[in-house]
Chain A
Amino acid sequence: MVDISLHLLDLMQNSARAQATEVALEVAEDRERDTLTVTVTDNGKGMDDEEKRLALDPFYTTKQGKKVGLGLPLVMQAARMCGGDVKVESGPGSGTKVQVTFSLSHLDRQPLGDIPATLVSFMAGNPDIELSFSYVGEKGTFHMTSSRLFSKREKETLGQIALLSLAEERLRAGLARAGFRPDGGGVIG
Chain B
Amino acid sequence: MRVDELVSRLGLQVKAMSKAGGAREIGGGFVGDVLSHVMANARPQDAWVTVQTHENVVAVAVLLDVACVVVCQRELPPETCQRAQSEGVTLLWTEQGAFEVAGKLYALLSSEHKGFREL
Contacts and interface: CB of A to CB of B under 8 A. Distances in A.
A77 interface: yes
7 contacts: A2-B36, A6-B36, A67-B59, A67-B62, A73-B56, A74-B35, A74-B36
Contacts, number: 37
A70 B87 contact: no
Nearest to B59: A58
Interface in A1-43: 1-2, 6
A162 interface: no
Interface size class on chain A is 10 to 19
B80 to A, nearest CB: 11
Contacts of B62: 59, 67-68
Interface residues of B, number: 14
B54 interface: yes
Nearest to B58: A58
B63 A73 contact: no
A1 B60 CA distance: 13
A58 B55 contact: yes
B69 to A, nearest CB: 14
Nearest to A66: B63
Contacts of A59: 59, 62, 83, 87
